[in-house]
């Protein structure tokens, strides 16, 4: 053969998705939990993996039954919504859960809709499943109300509507009445991506409360953020068993390894110690928002473990100036804004010190206007 084999036409010239993984002292760019698992949890993981190893000649439990029971218990405790374990579907990160959703409910000739600015991976799930993906803009402060969702859906009824709450990269949570209204109007599935749900502020309610009453609602969650388990790749969907059955059709057989299932169960058993970290991160987040505003910047209200702030005249220059000071944040969202993940108190202090230097530089900041901050 003379020439190299070529991938599909629609993939030519594309680059793999991913935030830069740069080794600097303060990494606040991918919304990870900054706290590593405790020594006790690391040892428990080691023991569980050793036990699982004795069985590795066998394929994993295809249905991950024990893990689903543990997840159901966790959700009942976390949000007060008790659902049977067959309403829960785990996979390798909520990324894979979303691929199952797109695989089952998207596809050629089908439409998915998201509300920008939002998580850029949705576009890739659509591309890999040959689903058409359309985004509609959020309001001036990145909010989304029922009228806006309705207006967006009038043009063509989507097979998949994605409501990200809290939204990435803005941190904006969605009121339950907007989700209820969307479910009532939608002819396809409504996915509420709750990757950051555990960080929500008091008074913000999880969409889990709506799953029982809305047969077309799917809530997705992950252990990558609040559970400090990004490296293990565990996410899950919550929906009616009929919807879960559709996801089970498109999953690859034995998709979730015995080791992954065991590690996830250990992390769930240690949720007490993780909860304390979540509390700390929430109060650090609120403190960061207050500090940014007091310093004269705009900061979007956040129910997540990150804050979108600005506005910078040239955000790439600001990003680079922070990096030069050892702090890596994310250049994402609308022009002029940067997203910073809430880190440990020390990391947040380092970010504030670096940012104070950066916005003192000439011509760095746009004057604050509007009500986002
Ligand atoms: C981080 C994130 C996820 C989580 O992905 P995993 O595959 O579970 O690590 C999902 N949705 C959004 C909006 C995110 O920001």
Cis peptide before 93 (omega within 30 of 0): no
The answer to whether residues 18 and 95 touch, using CB atoms and an 8 Å cutoff, is no
Q: Mean pLDDT score of the chain, rounded to an integer?
A: 95
CB atoms within 10 A of CB 180: 18
146: left (phi over 0), alpha (psi -120 to 50) or beta: alpha
Structure tokens at 158: 């989507």
Task: Please tell me whether residues 317 and 230 are part of one structural domain.
Answer: no
Which has more confidence, 293 or 156? Answer: 293
Tell me if 165 CB under 6 Å of ligand 1: no
Task: Please tell me whether residues 173 and 31 are part of one structural domain.
Answer: no
Share of the chain above pLDDT 70, in %: 98
Cis peptide before 166 (omega within 30 of 0): yes
Task: Please tell me whether residues 21 and 163 are part of one structural domain.
Answer: no
Tell me if 33 CB under 6 Å of ligand 1: no
Task: Please tell me whether residues 33 and 68 are part of one structural domain.
Answer: no
Q: Is residue 125 part of a domain?
A: yes
Q: Is residue 320 part of a domain?
A: yes
Query: Which atom of ligand 1 is found nearest the CA of 96?
Result: 7
pLDDT at residue 131, as a whole number: 98
Task: Please tell me whether residues 236 and 307 are part of one structural domain.
Answer: no
CA distance 161 to 189: 6
pLDDT at residue 369, as a whole number: 60
pTM of the model: 0.96
Q: Is residue 44 part of a domain?
A: no
Tell me if 170 CB under 6 Å of ligand 1: no
Mean pLDDT of 315-338: 96
Boundary-marking domain end, from 241, 270, 299: 270
Mean pLDDT of 244-267: 97
Task: Please tell me whether residues 114 and 137 are part of one structural domain.
Answer: yes
pLDDT digits (tens, 9 = 90+) for 17-49: 877 788 999 999 999 999 999 999 999 999 999
pLDDT at residue 8, as a whole number: 92
Q: Is residue 1 part of a domain?
A: no
pLDDT digits (tens, 9 = 90+) for 201-239: 999 999 999 999 999 999 999 999 999 999 999 999 999
CATH number of the domain residue 34 falls in: 3.90.1150.10
Task: Please tell me whether residues 340 and 293 are part of one structural domain.
Answer: yes
Phi, psi of 302 (to 5 degrees): -125, 135
User: Which residue's alpha carbon is at the smallest distance from atom 1 of ligand 1?
Assistant: 195
Task: Please tell me whether residues 106 and 185 are part of one structural domain.
Answer: yes
Task: Please tell me whether residues 208 and 290 are part of one structural domain.
Answer: no
CA distance 243 to 301: 33
Tell me if 193 CB under 6 Å of ligand 1: yes
pLDDT at residue 248, as a whole number: 97
Residues 6+ apart with CB under 8 A from 54: none
- β-partners of residue 149 are none
* 92 CA distance to ligand 1 middle (Å): 11
pLDDT > 50? residue 167: yes
Mean pLDDT of 139-163: 93
* 363 CA distance to ligand 1 middle (Å): 35
Mean pLDDT of 48-70: 97
pLDDT digits (tens, 9 = 90+) for 295-317: 999 999 999 999 999 999 999 99
Task: Please tell me whether residues 185 and 95 are part of one structural domain.
Answer: yes
Mutation to probe ligand 1, out of 119, 142, 195, 230 (largest number of atoms < 8 A from CB): 195
Mutation to probe ligand 1, out of 100, 119, 302 (largest number of atoms < 8 A from CB): 119
**149 DSSP 8-state letter:** H
Boundary-marking domain end, from 218, 249, 270: 270
Mean pLDDT of 172-182: 97
pLDDT at residue 174, as a whole number: 96
pLDDT bucket at 371, cuts 50 / 70 / 90: very low
Structural domain boundaries, residue 66 = 50-270
Boundary-marking domain end, from 270, 304, 339: 270
Q: Is residue 43 part of a domain?
A: no
* 272 CA distance to ligand 1 middle (Å): 22
pLDDT > 60? residue 370: no
The answer to whether residues 159 and 191 touch, using CB atoms and an 8 Å cutoff, is no
Q: Tally the domains of the chain.
A: 2
Residues 6+ apart with CB under 8 A from 244: 86, 87, 88, 89, 237
The answer to whether residues 33 and 305 touch, using CB atoms and an 8 Å cutoff, is yes
Tell me if 166 CB under 6 Å of ligand 1: no
Task: Please tell me whether residues 16 and 104 are part of one structural domain.
Answer: no
């Amino acid at each position: 053969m003379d020439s190299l084999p070529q991938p599909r036409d629609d993939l030519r010239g594309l680059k793999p998705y991913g935030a830069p993984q740069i080794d600097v002292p303060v990494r606040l760019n991918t919304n990870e939990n900054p706290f590593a698992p405790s020594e006790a949890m690391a040892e428990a993981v080691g023991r569980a993996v050793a036990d699982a190893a004795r069985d590795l000649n066998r394929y994993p439990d295809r249905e991950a039954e024990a893990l689903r029971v543990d997840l159901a218990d966790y959700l009942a405790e976390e949000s007060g919504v008790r659902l049977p374990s067959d309403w829960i579907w785990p996979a390798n990160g909520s990324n894979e859960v979303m691929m199952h959703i797109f695989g089952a409910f998207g596809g050629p000739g089908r439409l998915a809709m998201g509300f920008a600015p939002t998580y850029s991976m949705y576009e890739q799930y659509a591309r890999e499943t040959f689903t058409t993906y359309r985004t509609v803009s959020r309001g001036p402060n990145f909010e989304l109300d029922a009228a806006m969702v309705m207006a967006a859906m009038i043009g063509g009824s989507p097979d998949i509507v994605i409501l990200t709450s809290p939204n990435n990269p803005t941190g904006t949570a969605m009121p339950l009445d907007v989700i209820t209204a969307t479910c009532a109007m939608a002819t396809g599935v409504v996915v509420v991506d709750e990757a950051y749900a555990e960080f929500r502020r008091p008074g913000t309610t999880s969409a889990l409360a709506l799953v029982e009453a809305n047969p077309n609602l799917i809530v997705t969650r992950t252990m990558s953020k609040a559970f400090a388990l990004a490296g293990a790749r565990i996410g899950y969907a919550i929906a009616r068993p009929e919807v879960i059955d559709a996801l089970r059709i498109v999953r690859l057989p034995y998709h979730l390894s015995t080791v992954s299932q065991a590690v996830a169960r250990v992390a769930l058993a240690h949720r007490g110690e993780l909860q304390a970290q979540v509390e700390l991160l929430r109060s650090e987040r609120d403190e960061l928002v207050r500090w940014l505003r007091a310093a004269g910047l705009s900061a979007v209200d956040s129910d997540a473990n990150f804050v979108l702030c600005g506005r910078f005249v040239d955000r790439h220059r600001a990003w680079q100036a922070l990096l030069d000071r050892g702090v890596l944040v994310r250049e994402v969202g609308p022009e002029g804004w940067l997203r910073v993940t809430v880190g440990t108190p020390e990391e947040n202090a380092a970010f504030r010190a670096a940012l104070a230097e950066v916005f003192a530089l000439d011509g760095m900041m746009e004057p604050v206007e509007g009500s986002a901050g």
